[in-house]
Amino acid sequence: MFARPWMLLLLSLPLLHLYWVWSRRSGRFAMPFDSDGGKRFGSGWAMRALLGIGESLPALLMAVAVLLISLPQELAAPKQKRALTNIQFVVDISGSMTAKFGSGTRYDASMKAINEFLDFRSGDSFGLTFFGNNYLHWVPLTSDPSAFRNSIPFMRPENNVPGFGGTEIGKAVLGAREVLTSREEGDRMMILVTDGWSSDLSGGAEMEIAKRLKREHIKLFAVNIQETEARGEIVNLARMTGGEVFNPGDTNALKGVFSAIDGMTKTELEQATAELVDWFFPFAIAGLSVLGVYMLFMLGWRYTPW
């Protein structure tokens, strides 16, 4: 098929030229060397056919040019594309995140593990929310991991950002939910990294939040980065959405947590529909071939009117 089918009307020009070449009977002159019957140069139907082919080549070149400017296209084979996942990290920066964990602090270990996790999920979109008593959406959902890596120094717990000294997980989760639901395309995942517990999850509040996340197809994973295991409210919050809670005891276990999350949410492939793509190659080869033969004819085999 062609993107500009109306241009094919120009094929009438090379067709008219071909008709003229093969149907004309005039324009011949007798020369002195014709007295030998054309034995030196050849005569008869074979020579006339050969010369006719040579004269037809410009028309064929014109036809190829018309086909090319008509933009020939073909249906490409359907390709598989990676299904997008929108992942919102919700990271605790309360004062307790300055506690020692491995060779650094809990915050340092968490952000390092998150950065390594980004490499597992190339092609997904990532957002970052910091929280304490309040929350702040620091990095919008983006597929550029450098935005994450450059954000580490700015919201460190040691900076004592006003309003971020405590821990209110429920408020932060609901805030991150708004970011994820603003994206209509792709799956939704939330990864909560905290070392504490908050009162806004008590009295069954975590169940209500979890039900809301589940209705909106948001799967929550919680990373409890402290020595003791996560409390039941956080466990309920994660498992009700189809996620899980992890309790890493050291930096190596923390790396394994993000590998496990990647394994539990394997990337899916979507079958894309076939698309029309340009199909110039066979026409270009045909044109070059005709041009090459025509140049050979121009070296000696060509029609002359004498």
**Per residue, what are the HEC states of 206-236?**
HHHHHHHHHHCCEEEEEEECCCCCCCHHHHH
User: What average pLDDT does this structure show over 92-109?
Assistant: 89
Distance CA 85, CA 123 (A): 8
Q: What is the per-residue pLDDT across 165-210, written as a single tens digit (0 to 9) for each?
A: 888 999 999 999 999 999 878 789 899 999 878 889 988 999 999 9
pLDDT band for 82, please (50, 70, 90 cuts).
low
Q: Which of 208, 167, 164, 217 is nearest to 190 (CA)?
A: 217
> Coil, helix or strand for 85?
strand
Distance CA 43, CA 49 (A): 10
Domain chopping of the chain, boundaries: 5-76+276-298, 81-270
Q: Which of 194, 198, 252, 259 is nearest to 225 (CA)?
A: 194
Find out whether 135 and 173 touch, Cβ atoms under 8 Å.
no
Residue 60's contacts (CB-CB under 8 Å, 6 or more residues apart) are: 14, 290
User: What average pLDDT does this structure show over 7-26?
Assistant: 83
User: What average pLDDT does this structure show over 23-45?
Assistant: 55
Distance CA 237, CA 174 (A): 12
Q: What is the pLDDT of residue 301?
A: 56
Amino acid identity at 234 = I
Q: How far is CA 111 from the centre of its chain?
A: 26
pLDDT band for 33, please (50, 70, 90 cuts).
very low
User: What average pLDDT does this structure show over 80-92?
Assistant: 79
pLDDT band for 135, please (50, 70, 90 cuts).
very high
Q: What is the pLDDT of residue 207?
A: 94
Higher pLDDT, 41 or 46: 46
Phi, psi of 88 (to 5 degrees): -110, 120
Higher pLDDT, 135 or 152: 135
Q: What is the per-residue pLDDT across 232-291, written as a single tens digit (0 to 9) for each?
A: 999 999 999 998 888 887 667 777 777 777 766 555 545 556 577 788 888 889 889 988
User: What average pLDDT does this structure show over 53-59?
Assistant: 84
Q: What is the pLDDT of residue 186?
A: 79
Q: Which of 168, 173, 169, 121 is nearest to 148 (CA)?
A: 121
pTM flag (> 0.85): no
User: What average pLDDT does this structure show over 10-33?
Assistant: 73
Arch. (CATH architecture) of 81-270: 3-Layer(aba) Sandwich (3.40)
Q: To the nearest whole percent, how much of the chain has pLDDT over 90? A: 21
Whether pLDDT at 306 is above 50: no
* Cα end-to-end span (Å), the chain: 44
Q: What is the pLDDT of residue 220?
A: 93
Whether pLDDT at 87 is above 80: yes
Q: How far is CA 241 from the centre of its chain?
A: 28
